[in-house]
A and B are shown apart, each in its own frame.
Chain A
């Protein structure tokens, strides 16, 4: 760090309260649906009620009789608006990947329940909804493929007849290691072979999606407001899809009420509203209903996982072999095909496993497209690895903590090159696990568990482990190139100091709840020796922050925060040159601490940053040739990913009479590197854990055999409430990442990655002496009760 040892208060590392809060607490913050746009045209989207059907006719006559409904437009009517353009997929993971043309509004065939088939234009939100409901669509139903494994069965109906197969791509990672993997299995003393299901999940941020496109007909400009995580990417993509010159397009993400990956996309409604706004010369807006969003916004997960591990007699794993079937849904959204790959490098978990083989076949189904959802590939990988490790522990006859200890990558092995080809930055996995074991009070819990089992109690106790490592800080651009991703992984920042020594930070990261404004201010305040309240952080508007790659994949701090740090360093370098000029000293003789430059050994010779800021503004006496400003711009491309890790321990009580699972304790010890603000870190971990635990116990996008989503609202799709949530007990064990100057890693997805296997391992642990070896997610009372009944029936 720039600041010397005697620097005053360090803000980094403190539990500073968030500067974002007051606007959000008082209702002052403006979310997308809060924008007042007089005269706006409201869009209602008519969505397919069929999973697969030819669109034979669209009758808008009844809709047009409704007051306030002005037009009903079919996909064919709208097609000229996008011409050759279609919704983009930015990640063609293989050269032969199949990517069906994805129009914003279907013209001939609906491919999933929720597929847009027509549009109503109205003058109010109520009229738009009424109109959309009144449009009569004549469907000719076609056979639908709903379940993943059915998609690859012989004779399966085709989602896209012209593609001649439901297979989207097959992607593998084994290099020339296949023979070594086979040999390890041939020689193994213990082999575990497991099949796990990753049910589809509905991301369900509390704010539904929405967008509003506002034209300036005189100048030809268009401003697209959207509840998006990615205004910068959305701008480029919208410009390309619709042929709008980028210099005529501005994208603004107002306050965004959570995303969790589902707002990391380019959606039909964004393209539709933009195109209509330009055509009509009037604002065009759409706000998603919650039940609508369940089918119109991407879903997460949706995989069938086969994992095999080969271990020696001591339980040391020698090889892992994984085959996935991944559900793309009916179309490829922005990064749909890449999600399984993000997990594909991590099916050895945090273990030193020398031989590795991963293969994923992705398939189309007649369901809503999948895409990135909190963790994106890594929760799936961690689930499979951690469930399989517990099975291996049973096979070897050791405890879950012992099997992990025997396989961890050693603390002295970093930087560690994994068999999947990554270089892990830092960690001490055993120390993390030891802390978690102590915090959980493991021996007392085990004694209670044994007592209950011995008594034949109907309230069994289970203790579940999950040790994880993830890759985040997405991403080195050259690595993304090797994975055929369509963009880079850098991030941009500008830092400028005003004449009165206030600091303006412009970041290309796009917060939607993470607390960037607070954390970026703390970083810069420490570097410059100013108060964090004197730092403003601007973001999420391409007119203010023209370059950036936005927020996803726990990348904001490790990439965007690092860019801010480096831009601030450049500003300090320039300030130092001005200070040297003013003090008539050599730059090398200056030290900078607490916002003041001093000549070493001559304490009275000093100049505060405020004086330099004003001097840069007046430009009356700057070094020859120096530009009169105090600002710097940095675009930072990370040299590597970062690798947060941790061990979580879940304790559950399972009622064997009812199958009800009560999550009674949850301990998490995480290594997310250096923490800028532990308050913010803990909040992320809390929320992440509950989202992962919710996959384990509650949430499921349930489709019936006709392809109808039957858990489409928050009454049926069980987002947990405070009543279900446990109290989390957290600790941390930081090993600073050597990848970036602050030693940070990222924490936005860690809890979600770790929690599901911890909870399910706990449920299985509670029931193992009853003969239960596996429980599917979500472990609902019915599922658990049936698992017990099946195990008992099988035993009798």
Chain B
């Protein structure tokens, strides 16, 4: 077992993990943060997307030990403490950008990162920027509209 220290959603957390433990399983199984989902085993679907030091990363493709010392933000950490949704979450709600909701945490995290990194994206930019995140329910149109709306309102 290896000791790892992560700052998760603003709180420092220390845990002992097997060296091969994926970050997503450290978050889910060791820290109980089950909002981050696992949708595949080939880094294809993006359901497990979190922010590592502010940048989106597929947490099924990162070992927990690689993230030692990093600042991690998960879906549980983006709304305000009083429950007010993050502007991206709110935009997803208002545009009906989720149905079953399984891809949603990863999609929201990827979108937050995307609009922060590339302000002023047009529709094509959003579509290409999110191509690492799969959704089977929505056909993406409402997701794209939500991200464009959140970006337009300074959605970070």
**A interface, CB within 8 angstroms of B:** 17-18, 20-31, 33-34, 36, 125-126, 204-208, 255-258, 260, 289-291, 512-515, 679-680, 682-684, 686-691, 713-715, 719, 721-723, 725, 727-728, 751
Partner of A206, one of B21, B29, B34, B136: B136
- Does A722 contact B144, Cβ atoms closer than 8 Å? yes
A-B contact pairs, 14 of them (CB 8 A): A21-B92, A25-B105, A205-B100, A206-B137, A255-B101, A258-B102, A290-B41, A514-B99, A680-B96, A713-B42, A715-B42, A721-B133, A723-B130, A751-B139
- Does B100 contact A27, Cβ atoms closer than 8 Å? no
Contact string against A for B residues 100-138, beta-carbon threshold 8 Å, 1 for contact and 0 otherwise: 111111001000000000000001001110111111111
Chain B, Cβ-Cβ closest to A18: B96
Partner of A683, one of B25, B35, B142: B142
Interface centre among A17, A687, A689, A722 (most CB of B within 10 A): A722
Measured between alpha carbons, how far is A339 from B57 in the docked complex, in Å? 41
Interface centre among A206, A207, A514, A727 (most CB of B within 10 A): A206
Chain B, Cβ-Cβ closest to A691: B136
Partner of A205, one of B36, B130, B136: B136
- Does B134 contact A34, Cβ atoms closer than 8 Å? no
* B39 within 8 Å of A (CB atoms): yes
**B interface, CB within 8 angstroms of A:** 18, 20-21, 25, 28-29, 32-42, 44-45, 47, 74-76, 79, 85, 89, 92-94, 96, 98-105, 108, 123, 126-128, 130-144
Partner of B42, one of A260, A291, A512: A291
Q: A33-B38, A689-B139, A723-B128 are in contact. Are A206 and B76 (CB under 8 A)?
A: no
Partner of B75, one of A27, A34, A515: A27
- Does A722 contact B18, Cβ atoms closer than 8 Å? no
Query: Smallest Cβ distance from B6 to chain A, in angstroms?
Result: 17
B residues in contact with A680, CB < 8 Å:
96
A residues in contact with B135, CB < 8 Å:
206, 687, 722
Partner of B138, one of A257, A687, A723: A687
7 closest cross-chain pairs (CB), A and B: A27-B35, A257-B102, A24-B101, A513-B100, A686-B139, A714-B44, A34-B34
Chain A, Cβ-Cβ closest to B93: A21
B residues in contact with A721, CB < 8 Å:
127, 130-134, 140
- Does B100 contact A207, Cβ atoms closer than 8 Å? yes
Chain A, Cβ-Cβ closest to B101: A24
Measured between alpha carbons, how far is A167 from B11 in the docked complex, in Å? 62
Chain B, Cβ-Cβ closest to A207: B102
- Does A28 contact B35, Cβ atoms closer than 8 Å? yes
- Does B34 contact A27, Cβ atoms closer than 8 Å? yes
Q: A27-B34, A27-B74, A257-B101 are in contact. Are A513 and B127 (CB under 8 A)?
A: no
Query: Smallest Cβ distance from B97 to chain A, in angstroms?
Result: 9
A residues in contact with B20, CB < 8 Å:
126
Measured between alpha carbons, how far is A721 from B133 in the docked complex, in Å? 7
Query: Smallest Cβ distance from B46 to chain A, in angstroms?
Result: 9
Query: Smallest Cβ distance from B43 to chain A, in angstroms?
Result: 8
- Does B42 contact A206, Cβ atoms closer than 8 Å? no
| Contacts beyond the supplied A513-B137, A686-B139, A686-B140: 5 A-B pairs with Cβ under 8 Å | A24-B100, A25-B85, A205-B136, A290-B41, A722-B126
Partner of B108, one of A18, A25, A688, A719: A25
Q: A258-B137, A722-B143, A725-B127 are in contact. Are A24 and B104 (CB under 8 A)?
A: yes
- Does A290 contact B39, Cβ atoms closer than 8 Å? yes
- Does B79 contact A26, Cβ atoms closer than 8 Å? yes
Measured between alpha carbons, how far is A289 from B39 in the docked complex, in Å? 8
Query: Smallest Cβ distance from B121 to chain A, in angstroms?
Result: 12
B residues in contact with A205, CB < 8 Å:
100, 102, 136
Measured between alpha carbons, how far is A723 from B144 in the docked complex, in Å? 10
Chain B, Cβ-Cβ closest to A20: B101
- Does B103 contact A206, Cβ atoms closer than 8 Å? yes
- Does A515 contact B44, Cβ atoms closer than 8 Å? no
Query: Smallest Cβ distance from B64 to chain A, in angstroms?
Result: 12
Q: A21-B98, A22-B85, A26-B89 are in contact. Are A686 and B142 (CB under 8 A)?
A: yes
A residues in contact with B108, CB < 8 Å:
25
Partner of B102, one of A36, A125, A126, A206: A206
- Does B130 contact A17, Cβ atoms closer than 8 Å? no
- Does A713 contact B141, Cβ atoms closer than 8 Å? no
- Does B131 contact A723, Cβ atoms closer than 8 Å? yes
A residues in contact with B28, CB < 8 Å:
33-34
Query: Smallest Cβ distance from A474 to chain B, in angstroms?
Result: 21
Q: A258-B137, A679-B96, A686-B138 are in contact. Are A31 and B102 (CB under 8 A)?
A: yes
Partner of A204, one of B76, B105, B136, B140: B136
- Does B126 contact A207, Cβ atoms closer than 8 Å? no
Query: Smallest Cβ distance from A384 to chain B, in angstroms?
Result: 24
Chain B, Cβ-Cβ closest to A518: B96
B residues in contact with A22, CB < 8 Å:
85, 93
Query: Smallest Cβ distance from A712 to chain B, in angstroms?
Result: 9
Chain A, Cβ-Cβ closest to B123: A727
Measured between alpha carbons, how far is A686 from B88 in the docked complex, in Å? 21
